[in-house]
Amino acid sequence: MTHEKLLDAYANLTVHSGLNIQHGQQLLISAPLDAVPLVRRITEHAYKAGASLVTTIYADDVTSLARYNFAPDDAFDTAPAWLFNGMAEAFKGGAARLAIAGEDPSLLAGQDPQKLSRANKARSLAYRPALELITGFAINWCVIAAATPAWAKSVFPGLPEAEAVAKLWDAIFACTRADLPDPVKAWEEHSANLARRTAFLNERRYRALKYSGPGTDLMLGLAEDHVWKGGAGRARNGVICNANIPTEEVFTAPHKDMVDGTVCSSKPLSYQGSLIDGIKVRFERGKIVEMTAAKGEDAFRSLISTDEGAARLGEVALVPHSSPISKSGIIFNNTLFDENAASHIAVGQSYTENIRDASKRSKEELSALGANSSLVHVDWMIGSGELDVEGIHADGSAELLMRKGEWAV
């Protein structure tokens, strides 16, 4: 298949398997400028599927960097609340959400960490109304990626730009199953497999997960009334969608106060223009009390200092080491892909869909069950071919779940 046909298949997959756009529904897209060809195809397929209006907000790395080079100091406590409030209103009105990743993972490397911290906190505060609707699964939403020159060069630094971009696109098409004869059907089958895995875990009702591996000795308690999810899910508006394409994970809510021990990252984390690698942390009663990072330590320290909940966990996900993304051998420097190559955890806000009957419970009740609250939600990878995971039952007995990164049950 030509690149153009693959791009069209990817766009069609996004609209139908990712978002599952409904007739008369609006769609709000955010995307990098380099993703214009993909956005145009997605827009076309969305209208063919019955969308009433597609609105795209573009981001530009060059102008984002200009802020740090030329803006006055007090500018870094400012965020476009009017824009994020508008997004929240769109979601309340039933609009679907599509985010297209592809930014330069090292865009803000070398910038003043205090400016980065202030800007990220201001953005997180302003984005909170929209974030709560997304993490609460109020609407059908999806995150995908588009190959961009800056991102491609970070993944394949030894190749000429055009060759690097083409190679990254090929990897995206393969990891998202867009290069198969019938990608939509392939995603139906993949979601069914993930659903079987979540059904098994929900039946087991583990109290905690025990992680053992190089640099990792962690006991991670699970929230009371937790629910495992994976693959396609039904949003509160009744629409079944895949929130991430690609996705290989099954995930649930950890208990924000019941995480103890040490854990280290297994892949780099790209966060708000900073590349963070070699993370090592120690938890006590759910909170990170010690941390170091081989690269980007200031950025990670700033992240977990955003608020009280940013130093606690909001998600735990299991991914086999043999996932297609892991098998590719590519480190994508992009969380959407790297988190689906390895088991991971996320600091910050919990997904309330991971708590049974969450829509009927108050914030105080959810907190008492162990759900975390924060302005941020950031995944980082801890899985590898050397990691063992045990499920711990209520009576303290253990059952091997993953051995050397692979499912053991």
- DSSP per residue over 199-265, as a string? HHHHHH--SEEEEEETTEEEEEEEPTTB--B-SSEE-TTS-EE-SBSS---EEEPEEEEEEEEEEE-
pLDDT tens profile 304-317:
999 999 999 999 99
Confidence of residue 342 (pLDDT cuts 50, 70, 90): very high
Taking CA atoms, 388 is separated from 167, 185, 213, 244, 320, in Å, by 33, 33, 6, 25, 11
Task: Tell me which residue range forms the domain holding 219.
Answer: 205-228+249-407
Residues with Cβ within 8 Å of 236's Cβ and at least 6 positions away in sequence, in order, are: 136, 137, 138, 139, 359
Q: How far is CA 128 from the centre of its chain?
A: 16
The predicted structure's pLDDT at residue 83: 98
- The answer to whether position 213 is within a domain reads yes
Count up the domains in the chain and report the number. Answer: 2
On whether both 19 and 151 belong to a single domain, the answer is yes
**Smallest Cα–Cα separation from 178: which of 286, 324, 71?**
324
On whether both 214 and 125 belong to a single domain, the answer is no
Confidence of residue 274 (pLDDT cuts 50, 70, 90): confident
The predicted structure's pLDDT at residue 44: 98
- The answer to whether position 253 is within a domain reads yes
Are 273 and 257 a contacting pair, CB within 8 Å?
no
The predicted structure's pLDDT at residue 201: 98
Mean local confidence (pLDDT), 292-306:
94
Residues with Cβ within 8 Å of 80's Cβ and at least 6 positions away in sequence, in order, are: 126
Q: How far is residue 228's CA from residue 199's CA, in Å, rounded to a whole number? A: 8
On whether both 162 and 219 belong to a single domain, the answer is no
H-helix or E-strand spanning residue 186: helix 183-204
- The answer to whether position 101 is within a domain reads yes
Taking CA atoms, 373 is separated from 19, 39, 59, 95, 329, in Å, by 26, 33, 28, 24, 35
What is the average pLDDT score of the chain?
Answer: 96
On whether both 18 and 79 belong to a single domain, the answer is yes
Are 153 and 368 a contacting pair, CB within 8 Å?
no
Q: How far is residue 212's CA from residue 210's CA, in Å, rounded to a whole number? A: 7
In this model, does residue 272 exceed pLDDT 90?
no
pLDDT tens profile 11-65:
999 999 999 999 999 999 999 999 999 999 999 999 999 999 999 999 999 999 9
CATH label of the domain that carries residue 24? 3.40.1830.10
Examine the fold and report which residue of 136, 153, 175 is the final residue of a domain before the chain moves on. 175
On whether both 274 and 156 belong to a single domain, the answer is no
The predicted structure's pLDDT at residue 409: 87
On whether both 220 and 327 belong to a single domain, the answer is yes
In this model, does residue 273 exceed pLDDT 90?
no
Residues with Cβ within 8 Å of 278's Cβ and at least 6 positions away in sequence, in order, are: 264, 265, 292, 293, 294, 295
Which of these ranges, 107-116, 180-189, 260-269, 345-354, has the smallest mean pLDDT?
A: 107-116
Residue found under tokens 């802020």: 67
The predicted structure's pLDDT at residue 284: 98
The predicted structure's pLDDT at residue 109: 86
- The answer to whether position 135 is within a domain reads yes
Task: Print burial letters for 33-72: b (CB count within 10 Å at least 16), e (below 16).
Answer: ebbeebbebbbebbeebebeebebeeeebeebeeebeeee
The predicted structure's pLDDT at residue 170: 97
Phi–psi pair at 380, nearest 5 degrees: -145, 150
On whether both 212 and 167 belong to a single domain, the answer is no
Are 206 and 222 a contacting pair, CB within 8 Å?
yes
- The answer to whether position 92 is within a domain reads yes
The predicted structure's pLDDT at residue 356: 96
- The answer to whether position 198 is within a domain reads no
* Both structure tokens of 97: 């959400």
The predicted structure's pLDDT at residue 372: 98
**Smallest Cα–Cα separation from 61: which of 34, 28, 83?**
34
What 3-state DSSP class applies to 77? helix
DSSP state of 21: P
- The answer to whether position 234 is within a domain reads no
The predicted structure's pLDDT at residue 328: 92
The predicted structure's pLDDT at residue 359: 86
The predicted structure's pLDDT at residue 138: 96
- The answer to whether position 140 is within a domain reads yes
Strand pairing report for 208-213 and 388-392:
antiparallel
On whether both 51 and 92 belong to a single domain, the answer is yes
On whether both 12 and 159 belong to a single domain, the answer is yes
In the chain, what percentage of residues exceed pLDDT 90?
Answer: 95
In the chain, what percentage of residues exceed pLDDT 70?
Answer: 100
Amino acid at 267: K
The predicted structure's pLDDT at residue 110: 86
On whether both 170 and 261 belong to a single domain, the answer is no
Are 29 and 54 a contacting pair, CB within 8 Å?
yes
pLDDT tens profile 376-408:
999 999 999 999 999 999 999 999 999 999 999
Q: What is the value of pTM for the model shown?
A: 0.88
Examine the fold and report which residue of 135, 154, 175 is the final residue of a domain before the chain moves on. 175
On whether both 120 and 209 belong to a single domain, the answer is no
Q: How far is residue 210's CA from residue 102's CA, in Å, rounded to a whole number? A: 34
On whether both 132 and 47 belong to a single domain, the answer is yes
Confidence of residue 149 (pLDDT cuts 50, 70, 90): very high
